[in-house]
């Protein structure tokens, strides 16, 4: 079986690896360089604390791969498990925490509820009086996306995957029981096509006459020198009600981020600023200072970056065979890196078996959305 994968980020590479391991003939087409899109600008978070079962299950199934990545792929991804600390200012958010932790622990995640005072044990400079509840999982962490791309790239090369970089897919047409895949240099006949194009997934879907609710949205991060020493043992800390987060980096620096804009317009994934906005950076540091006393007026900004999330209306991915032989794995809304190992196996199962069994991804089917009169896609809430 010949499968063409569109997109050479971590999801496309993981899918290529899983397919090749099962004996498929795989061609991967990437318009730029491997990992050069959203993966290369990901923050690298790997967490099991999610509010929906399918995202928890994708995380739980992916973590063993991240744990053993160096052994499997020969590359150290700098996997650090300092935990994730979620903070609630509002009573309604705290109530959600209770149900979330109950669901997570039922699925094997060692998360737990904390009082704000207890949260200071893992984040000592936390402004505990600002919060009403917290959740914490010590097994959550971060890894280096660039190294992950390197490891998967080696593995797919060794598995015989035909990797075509600087090769955009310009046409997708049904041809008999398969697909004709056009690129500027060559046309391929494929039994199946995988759309793993991330922020470009909607464009690729249109080539196949499939409307996808995947919008490219710009997200920013800044690297700063905190006013007070931020120990590397402090977890990635998220003020859920205000959308701010921070985590320790190497050599006394910290990563701060969050999404604060009232509006969230689509951007052109081929033409957007890759540097963080000055006003956004100042606000990110201010919001981090409202969470913990590590940050203040003497915090210095070193650098930063902006990248793209591929966002759906409900902030969940589409992992589904949306047309005969056309599988989509996109729209992860910021979760694509951490869920890539499990997603790759599910993609292989969808292509080769007709259904995913590694993780039940039925909640991520495209039919949870419905098309409007303009041909766009909106969430089906019925």
Q: How far is Cα 348 from Cα 17, in angstroms, rounded to an integer? A: 9
Answer whether 184's CB lies under 8 Å from 41's CB. no
Confidence category of residue 14, pLDDT binned at 50, 70, 90: very high
pLDDT score for 377:
54
Whether the CB-CB separation of 323 and 210 falls below 8 Å is answered with yes
Q: With contact defined as beta carbons under 8 Å apart, do 66 and 77 qualify?
A: yes
Q: Rounded to whole angstroms, how far apart are CA atoms 128 and 119?
A: 8
The string of pLDDT tens digits covering residues 139-174 is: 999 999 999 999 999 999 999 999 999 999 999 999
Name the nearest CA neighbour of 115 among 89, 97, 135.
Answer: 135
Q: For CA atoms 153, 156, 158, 160, give the dihedral sign.
A: negative
Mean pLDDT of the region 178-187: 97
Tokens of 141: 């962490």
Whether the predicted pLDDT of 382 surpasses 70: no
| Of 119, 47, 103, residue with least CA distance to 80 | 47
* Antiparallel, parallel or unpaired: β 133-137 and 84-88: antiparallel
Least confident of 120-124, 238-242, 311-315, 376-380: 376-380
Residue ranges of alpha helices (H) inside the chain are 10-21, 53-67, 69-73, 91-106, 116-119, 145-158, 201-207, 278-291, 336-352
Phi-psi region of 165 (alpha: psi -120 to 50; beta: other; left: phi over 0): beta
pLDDT at 299 over 90: yes
DSSP-derived secondary structure letter, 325: T
Residue 265 confidence (pLDDT) above 80: no
Domain ranges of the chain: 2-45+145-214+314-379, 84-138+216-307
Nearest to 173 by CA among 189, 184, 152: 189
Where do the H-state alpha helices sit in 220-277? none
Residue 349: predicted pLDDT: 98
pLDDT in tens, 318-357: 999 999 999 999 999 999 999 999 999 999 999 999 999 9
Q: What is the pLDDT, as a whole number, of residue 264?
A: 62
Give the CATH architecture of domain 84-138+216-307: 2-Layer Sandwich (3.30)
Structural contact between residues 347 and 19, judged by C-beta atoms closer than 8 angstroms: yes
Ordered strands of the 133-137 beta sheet? 112-114, 133-137, 84-88, 236-239, 244-248, 254-258, 215-225, 300-311
What secondary structure letter does DSSP report for 235? Answer: P
Q: Is the pLDDT of residue 381 over 50?
A: no
Kindly state the average pLDDT of the residues 349-375. Answer: 87
81-136 pLDDT per residue, tens: 999 999 999 999 999 999 999 999 999 999 999 999 999 999 999 999 999 999 99
Superfamily designation of domain 2-45+145-214+314-379: FAD/NAD(P)-binding domain (3.50.50.60)
Q: Give 56-117 as a DSSP string.
A: HHHHHHHHHHHHTHHHHHS-----B---EEEEESSHHHHHHHHHHHHHHHHTT---EEE-HH
Mean pLDDT calculated for residue range 35-62: 96
Question: CA–CA separation, 366 vs 322, rounded Å?
Answer: 7
What mean pLDDT do residues 261-269 have? 73
Distance, in Å, from the CA atom of 137 to the CA atom of 368, rounded to the nearest integer, reads 30
């Amino acid at each position: 079986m010949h499968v063409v994968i569109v997109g050479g980020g971590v999801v496309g590479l993981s899918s290529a690896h899983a397919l090749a391991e099962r004996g498929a003939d795989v061609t991967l087409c990437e318009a730029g360089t491997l990992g050069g899109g959203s993966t290369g600008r990901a923050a690298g978070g790997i967490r099991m604390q999610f509010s929906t079962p399918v995202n928890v299950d994708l995380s739980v199934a992916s973590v063993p791969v991240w744990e053993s990545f160096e052994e499997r792929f020969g590359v150290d991804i700098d996997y650090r498990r300092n935990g994730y600390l979620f903070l609630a200012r509002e009573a309604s958010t705290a109530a959600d925490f209770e149900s979330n932790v109950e669901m997570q622990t039922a699925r094997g995640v060692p998360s737990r509820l904390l009082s704000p005072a207890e949260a200071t044990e893992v984040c000592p400079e936390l402004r505990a009086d600002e919060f009403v509840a917290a959740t914490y999982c010590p097994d959550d962490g971060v890894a280096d996306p660039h190294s992950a791309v390197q490891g998967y790239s080696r593995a797919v090369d060794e598995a015989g995957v035909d990797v075509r970089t600087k090769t955009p897919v310009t046409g997708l047409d049904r041809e008999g029981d398969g697909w004709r895949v056009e690129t500027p240099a060559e046309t391929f006949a494929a039994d199946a096509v995988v759309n793993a194009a991330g922020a470009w997934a909607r464009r690729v879907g249109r080539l196949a006459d499939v409307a996808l609710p995947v919008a490219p949205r710009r997200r920013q991060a800044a690297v700063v020198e905190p006013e007070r020493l931020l120990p590397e043992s402090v977890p990635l800390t998220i003020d859920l009600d205000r959308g701010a987060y921070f985590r320790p980096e190497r050599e006394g620096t910290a990563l701060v981020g969050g999404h604060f804009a009232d509006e969230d317009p689509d951007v052109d994934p081929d033409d957007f600023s890759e540097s963080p906005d000055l006003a956004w950076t100042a606000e990110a540091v201010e919001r981090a200072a409202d969470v913990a006393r590590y940050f203040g007026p003497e915090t210095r900004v070193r650098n930063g970056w902006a990248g793209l999330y591929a966002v759906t209306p409900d902030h969940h991915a589409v992992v589904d065979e949306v047309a005969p032989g056309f599988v989509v794995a996109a729209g992860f809304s910021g979760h694509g890196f951490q869920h890539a190992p499990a997603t790759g196996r599910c993609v292989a199962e969808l292509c080769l078996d007709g259904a995913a069994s590694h993780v039940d991804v039925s909640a991520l089917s495209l039919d949870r959305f419905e098309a409007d009169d303009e041909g766009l896609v909106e969430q089906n809430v019925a």
